[in-house]
A and B are shown apart, each in its own frame.
Chain A
Amino acid sequence: MKVVVNDIELDLAPGTSAIDAVFAAGDDVPYFCSQEYMSPIGACRMCLARVGSPRKDRDGNWILDEETGEPKIFWFPNLMATCTTQVTEGMVIDTRSEAVKNAQNSMVEFTLINHPLDCPVCDKGGACELQDRAYEYGDGLSRFEFDKRRSEKHHELSELITLDRERCIHCKRCVRFFEEVPGDEVLDFIERGSHTYIGTVDAGLPSNFSGNITDICPVGALLDASSRFRGRNWEYDHTRTTSMDDATGSAVIVDARTGRIERVKAALNPDVNKTWIDDGTRFGHEYVDSPDRLTRPMVRRNGELQPVTWPEAAAYVAERLKGLSGKDVGIVLRADSTLEEGVAALALAEKLGTGQVDHAPRPAGSLLPSRPATLTDLATADAIFVVGDVTEEAGILDLRIKDALKGVTPPELLPHGVPIADLRLKERMPRRAEILTVAAPYRVDLMRHAGASHLYPAGGEAELFRALTALAGGGQLTDEQRAALGADEAAARQLVDRLRSASDGVLVVGGFALARREAAEAARAFARAVGVKELLVGPMANSHGLELLGVLPSHERYAFPGMLQEAKALIVSHLDPAKDPDVAASLKERELLVVHDMFLTETARLADVVLPARSVYEKDGTVVNLEGRFLPVRAAPVEAGQAEDFTGVVRYLGEALGERLEGRSVRSARRVLKRRLELDLAELPDNGVIPRLKARPAPKVTTREAPAAGGNVLIAPSMARVEYLHRNPHLNAAVGGPKLSVNPADAEGLGVMDGAEVRLRVGGVWRDAVVRVTEAVPAGLMTLPALPEQGVGLVQADLGSLVVDQVRLEVAS
């Protein structure tokens, strides 16, 4: 479609908006209310332009200009908001004439009438759309002599977000965000005219995605409470990297200043997270700056851990290893270690000659799907079946599923990037809830958006999938199978039919089903039976990658946590198995315990050698997300003392052992990966690639699985990482601590009230939690968030061990 923008002729796809035509021509037009991936509404009136188009006469011929003989341009009588105007054949857009300039000037003046002039103390200063646009398109003068609107300057919308009501320019981005993206209308305009303000009647912002509104606010009205007044925008070092918070590999920008992470913002990756991240990813970084971080290696001498240098610590370890056979050494990484760290661990294991190498948490089922779906497949699916709690597990999945419910395919990228105004998107679009079915052992958030839900008995994932597969095979169900469905048989039949007749069906398998191999295999069999693609949600950022790389034990016995008993010497990275007192007792009997961690954990307290570890924000490396997408991780300039990642550990240990091991640095590990995967990870683009790998993935060790054991507590995924929650004060306040969700009937039986702080032993591990009494969990089942050492699944809690802290009642006098 031919369009002319300020004398530049363009060929654009039908349906493009006029504002995108202007940007596609390399020109600029100011705007505040439009936002990538959200509906254009024409609210701010900043993007006005003079627009005209040729007309056809009754015979279908262009009406020609008598003088030039060219099609005559009929101009719209008024200036048009380009964000809500669709281009037509031959349209002419003019953004440079006096009339347009006057209009822009006037709109800037109007928008600034009630906007305070507190840019010098505003966190947005220097990165503010209003500031930039006022500078570019305003004339710098105000004729408004009256008092400005006065309003609340520090309104806490939630523990995470502070609203300055004076600065708000009513662009409606935040209001639309909640309705359009996560689909929960949390915020709205209250009052009218110049009294209008953003508000909610809810307590806080009940959404896992609330932080995104601080990214899209064009002014300094909505601010990230954790970074407020921490620095000016031009002082930050911006590092574009990949989040290691969950398995989706969302693109983020880490802003650091003077060696401290001040905030994490969402970055654009059109194929993964678009421009959104969940609150766990955004606000879960404060632990990195915790004052109790380990900064120097330590060696136990005379029963005390004493600071030493890295070579001293490595020499000590090498000396102690001499007396042991290499195969008696166990090495375990946490599942958010990079591929390069995985290579390092494998190189060290090979040098020592041990098969006792693993990563944790690692689900029993494999994470490498046979018919893999991408996130784009998910967002364009016409039938989706989710088993699990993806909103907590990997928030971006939740948002991409909601994209699919809208039925709008991801937009084609234009020369300037994502369309600023995608005219297919509308406010309050109808959602195709019927294409989504969600199954979980308790009521999960996504069920509110689903056409059908299955509440199956906890631990019954294998039975659920087998019953569904039986339905797909046209068989009759037994009573037991019917009970396993967690919904009536007609609904299940409808689900099976929908998945089978779908051309782009996707099965999303969360942690509950992957926790047991028989369930994971039943899920795979079901996907095959109905012919849908699979998306398997690993417990941590690089679960997929580390399995692909083969950071796996040579025998079932050597898997974590069995390895803790088997090995005589242990090198444990970022894991704290000693949270379980029984494990702690057995760790004391190991001949050598080396702990590589950021904090002096329970396990580190028992260690012979403690090595300071880098946080996920301080590493360079590569991570593979749940789609199999290789994504680059880059280190932000953060002060971390002498901390090293696992490649550093292997470098020093190798030197002490007298060998230059492969994987002694990120570069050396990448050379290995290049050989193995034929992929140059140093050249990886920001948005990553899904390579077609020739190398066969390492097979998972075959193990026999004990029959499903019952339990009364379901360890469930959590958006906020519980192991760091008490070091993330803002996020902790927002989520209300690690929650033990209890059905009202059970709460009465246990004698606990909502908000009570409790301590109980769950599956051996002592856990602190805050009771939340809720109907969402069925009677007889409690849920507790997962830890790296205590993965998702059903466990037995010793209710006799329950210690309840006195509940404090505050009575207003």
Chain B
Amino acid sequence: MIELETTTPFFQDKQEVVDEILSRYPEEGRRSALMPLLWEVQRAERYISEARMHEIAEIVGITATEVKGVLSFYSTYHEQPVGRYHIQICSTLSCALAGADEMYDHLVNELGIVNGETDAEGRFSLQKAECVGSCGTAPVLLVNDTYYERVTKSRCRHLLEALRRDEMPEPWRERGGDNEGAEKATPFGGAEGGEA
């Protein structure tokens, strides 16, 4: 077999990071370091390639198959490259009631990709997620690790415009739980709230 692409080990020049992670666990629990190491790779490369699985397996002393077993269990680890802006839409009950499905359809139309896909440019990727723990401010979407709460159509539009300019807008702060008054939740598909 001819290796067409040679990969430099990710942790080659990050020994102190590895040592720090391993130091959190006792020697017999070395395998526990698997999760933070996976996270380290994904943060830097936005996905975990098979070469990285082998590398991590080597570090924690298990097989690459087991590494894959763990990372495939969690939907937040990616085996395929995701976009620079990985958008996750909560689609569990509270957000669904507040119009998460409409928000998803809207994003599909806007971005031209569906659940699990990345656009050709590598800018956006879309993923439906289960409850992200912000039911009071439904509907919610995440761009990478940043929460954007109580998303309306216009907020969504502004957000996408900003991301297309490669700007991450500050998330608007919301106080959860109010269903009355100025901060009354507006379902995504419903009448547009005035402000943006």
Residues of chain A whose beta carbon lies under 8 Å from any beta carbon of chain B = 184-192, 199-202, 430, 809
Q: Quick check: B63 and A184 within 8 Å, CB to CB?
A: yes
Number of interface residues of B (CB under 8 A): 17
24 contacts between A and B (CB under 8 A): A184-B63, A185-B62, A185-B66, A186-B63, A186-B65, A188-B66, A188-B68, A188-B69, A189-B73, A190-B69, A190-B72, A191-B73, A192-B73, A192-B74, A192-B75, A201-B50, A201-B53, A201-B64, A201-B65, A201-B67, A201-B68, A202-B63, A202-B64, A809-B2
Q: Which residue of A lies closest to B75 (CB)?
A: A192
Q: Which one of B65, B72, B73, B74 lies within 8 Å of A202 (CB-CB)?
A: B65
Q: Quick check: A191 and B65 within 8 Å, CB to CB?
A: no
Q: Which residue of A lies closest to B70 (CB)?
A: A188
B58-89 interface (Cβ within 8 A of A): 62-69, 72-75
Which residues from B are CB-within-8-Å of A809? 2
Report the bound CA distance from A192 to B74 in whole Å.
8
Report the bound CA distance from A185 to B72 in whole Å.
16
Which residues from A are CB-within-8-Å of B68? 188, 190, 199, 201
Which residues from B are CB-within-8-Å of A185? 62-63, 65-66
What is the CB-to-nearest-CB distance from B47 to chain A, in angstroms, rounded to a whole number? 15
Which residues from A are CB-within-8-Å of B73? 189, 191-192
Which residues from A are CB-within-8-Å of B50? 201
Report the bound CA distance from A199 to B63 in whole Å.
12
Q: Quick check: B72 and A200 within 8 Å, CB to CB?
A: no
Q: Which residue of B lies closest to A193 (CB)?
A: B73
Report the bound CA distance from A199 to B65 in whole Å.
8
What is the CB-to-nearest-CB distance from A700 to chain B, in angstroms, rounded to a whole number? 45
Which residues from A are CB-within-8-Å of B66? 185, 188
Report the bound CA distance from A430 to B29 in whole Å.
11
Which residues from A are CB-within-8-Å of B63? 184-186, 188, 202
Q: Kindly list the 3 A-B residue pairs having the minimum CB-CB distance in the complex, ordered from nearest.
A: A188-B69, A185-B63, A190-B72
Q: Which residue of A lies closest to B67 (CB)?
A: A201
Report the bound CA distance from A688 to B116 in whole Å.
59
Given known A-B contacts A201-B50, A201-B53, A187 and B65 have beta carbons under 8 A apart: yes
Tell me whether chain B's interface is mostly helix, strand or loop, or mixed.
helix
Report the bound CA distance from A254 to B2 in whole Å.
42
Q: Which residue of A lies closest to B62 (CB)?
A: A185
- Report B94-134 CB contacts with A as 1/0, cut-off 8 Å: 00000000000000000000000000000000000000000
Q: Which residue of A lies closest to B68 (CB)?
A: A201
What is the CB-to-nearest-CB distance from A807 to chain B, in angstroms, rounded to a whole number? 12
Q: Quick check: A189 and B64 within 8 Å, CB to CB?
A: no
Which residues from A are CB-within-8-Å of B65? 185-188, 199-202
Q: Which residue of B lies closest to A191 (CB)?
A: B72
Report the bound CA distance from A13 to B112 in whole Å.
66
Report the bound CA distance from A289 to B22 in whole Å.
55
Q: Quick check: B62 and A192 within 8 Å, CB to CB?
A: no
Which residues from B are CB-within-8-Å of A186? 63, 65
What is the CB-to-nearest-CB distance from A191 to chain B, in angstroms, rounded to a whole number? 5
B109-166 interface (Cβ within 8 A of A): none
Which residues from A are CB-within-8-Å of B2? 809
Q: Name 9 extra pairs, CB < 8 A, besides A189-B69, A201-B53.
A: A185-B65, A185-B66, A189-B73, A190-B72, A192-B72, A192-B73, A200-B65, A201-B68, A202-B64
Report the bound CA distance from A184 to B66 in whole Å.
11
Q: Which residue of B lies closest to A175 (CB)?
A: B69
Report the bound CA distance from A430 to B27 in whole Å.
13
Which residues from B are CB-within-8-Å of A199? 65, 68
Report the bound CA distance from A809 to B1 in whole Å.
8
Which residues from A are CB-within-8-Å of B75? 192
Interface centre among A190, A192, A430 (most CB of B within 10 A): A190
Which residues from B are CB-within-8-Å of A190? 68-69, 72
Q: Which residue of A lies closest to B53 (CB)?
A: A201
Which residues from A are CB-within-8-Å of B53? 201
Report the bound CA distance from A169 to B75 in whole Å.
22
B35-71 interface (Cβ within 8 A of A): 50, 53-54, 62-69
Interface centre among B2, B54, B68, B69 (most CB of A within 10 A): B69
Which residues from B are CB-within-8-Å of A189? 69, 73
Report the bound CA distance from A661 to B69 in whole Å.
64
Report the bound CA distance from A274 to B104 in whole Å.
56
Report the bound CA distance from A188 to B69 in whole Å.
6
Report the bound CA distance from A809 to B50 in whole Å.
24
Q: Which residue of B lies closest to A202 (CB)?
A: B65
Which residues from B are CB-within-8-Å of A184? 63
Q: Which residue of B lies closest to A188 (CB)?
A: B69
Interface centre among B28, B63, B75 (most CB of A within 10 A): B63
Report the bound CA distance from A184 to B64 in whole Å.
11
Q: Which residue of A lies closest to B2 (CB)?
A: A809
What is the CB-to-nearest-CB distance from A174 to chain B, in angstroms, rounded to a whole number? 12
What is the CB-to-nearest-CB distance from B6 to chain A, in angstroms, rounded to a whole number? 17
Which residues from B are CB-within-8-Å of A202? 63-65
What is the CB-to-nearest-CB distance from A41 to chain B, in angstroms, rounded to a whole number? 15
What is the CB-to-nearest-CB distance from B19 to chain A, in angstroms, rounded to a whole number? 24
What is the CB-to-nearest-CB distance from A468 to chain B, in angstroms, rounded to a whole number? 30
Q: Which residue of A lies closest to B63 (CB)?
A: A185
Which residues from B are CB-within-8-Å of A188? 63, 65-66, 68-69
Report the bound CA distance from A200 to B72 in whole Å.
12
Report the bound CA distance from A536 to B28 in whole Å.
35
Report the bound CA distance from A696 to B77 in whole Å.
68
Report the bound CA distance from A202 to B68 in whole Å.
11
What is the CB-to-nearest-CB distance from A180 to chain B, in angstroms, rounded to a whole number? 14
Report the bound CA distance from A121 to B69 in whole Å.
31
What is the CB-to-nearest-CB distance from B194 to chain A, in angstroms, rounded to a whole number? 42
What is the CB-to-nearest-CB distance from B64 to chain A, in angstroms, rounded to a whole number? 5
Which residues from B are CB-within-8-Å of A200? 65
Which residues from A are CB-within-8-Å of B28? 430
Report the bound CA distance from A185 to B53 in whole Å.
14
What is the CB-to-nearest-CB distance from A554 to chain B, in angstroms, rounded to a whole number? 55
Which residues from A are CB-within-8-Å of B74? 192
Q: Which residue of A lies closest to B64 (CB)?
A: A201
Report the bound CA distance from A202 to B69 in whole Å.
13
What is the CB-to-nearest-CB distance from A487 to chain B, in angstroms, rounded to a whole number? 22
Report the bound CA distance from A809 to B2 in whole Å.
9
What is the CB-to-nearest-CB distance from B129 to chain A, in angstroms, rounded to a whole number? 14
What is the CB-to-nearest-CB distance from B33 to chain A, in angstroms, rounded to a whole number? 16
Report the bound CA distance from A192 to B69 in whole Å.
9
What is the CB-to-nearest-CB distance from A527 to chain B, in angstroms, rounded to a whole number? 34
Q: Which residue of B lies closest to A186 (CB)?
A: B65
Report the bound CA distance from A192 to B2 in whole Å.
34
Report the bound CA distance from A202 to B75 in whole Å.
22
Q: Which residue of B lies closest to A184 (CB)?
A: B63
Report the bound CA distance from A560 to B196 in whole Å.
95
What is the CB-to-nearest-CB distance from B60 to chain A, in angstroms, rounded to a whole number? 12
